[in-house]
Amino acid sequence: MVETLTDNRNRTVAAVRQCFSKHKGKQATAGSVAYLFEQKGQIRLLGEDPDSIMEIALESGAEDVIDYEDGTFEVLTDAGDLPAVRDALVEQGMQPTEASVAMIPATSVEPELADARQAIHLLEALMEAEDVENVFSNGSFPDTLLND
């Protein structure tokens, strides 16, 4: 899913269309993949006490807390609850590295290696396009490809 912000719709449509064409992607009509995503508040932070983070986040209205192996946490909220949850974490001395509203995939797919490479190149090209604000994907890509 591609979100754009522009003062020239024709230029933006042409640039996005060129990215899809160059990287063998398929462009769908506006809103046609929206059902694959849910709008959620997303807070990322570093932390050492998973129990404390989970308790504060859930008590302040978070829907889920994901504890990653690298010591980072992702707190998911209803989009409207994002400020309250972020403020509750900050009041307890935690410093989020990012807090934003994002489109979270309801389901994810694991493409074949060749398709995954192609998709990553397409996503990178879209993110570099001038008027593209956000790019969301439901692809689950191997870490080895993401670190290339």
pTM of the model: 0.79
Is a pLDDT exceeding 70 seen at residue 88?
A: yes
- 99 and 63 in a common domain: yes
- Given pLDDT bands bounded at 50, 70 and 90, which one contains residue 142? confident
- Distances in Å between the Cα of 66 and the Cα atoms of 6, 50, 80, 99 are 34, 9, 19, 15
pLDDT for residue 61: 95
- 46 and 24 in a common domain: no
Looking up residue 76, the CATH number of its domain turns out to be 3.30.70.980
- 51 and 79 in a common domain: yes
- 52 and 74 in a common domain: yes
Please write the tens of the pLDDT for every residue from 9-53: 999 999 999 999 999 999 888 888 999 999 999 999 998 788 999
- 30 and 6 in a common domain: yes
- Given pLDDT bands bounded at 50, 70 and 90, which one contains residue 148? low
- 43 and 83 in a common domain: yes
Q: Which amino acid is at 88?
A: A
What percentage of the chain reaches a pLDDT higher than 70? Answer: 98
Q: 12 φ, ψ to 5°?
A: -65, -45
Is a pLDDT exceeding 80 seen at residue 101?
A: yes
pLDDT for residue 30: 84
Based on the structure, what is the number of domains in the chain? 2
Q: Which helix (H) or strand (E) holds 105?
A: strand 96-105
pLDDT for residue 147: 66
Domain hosting residue 82, numbered range: 37-105
pLDDT for residue 118: 93
CA–CA dist 51, 73 (Å, integer): 11
What percentage of the chain reaches a pLDDT higher than 90? Answer: 79
- 41 and 31 in a common domain: no
- Given pLDDT bands bounded at 50, 70 and 90, which one contains residue 89? very high
CB 1 within 8 A of CB 35: no
Give every CB contact of residue 5 below 8 A, 6+ residues apart in sequence.
131, 133
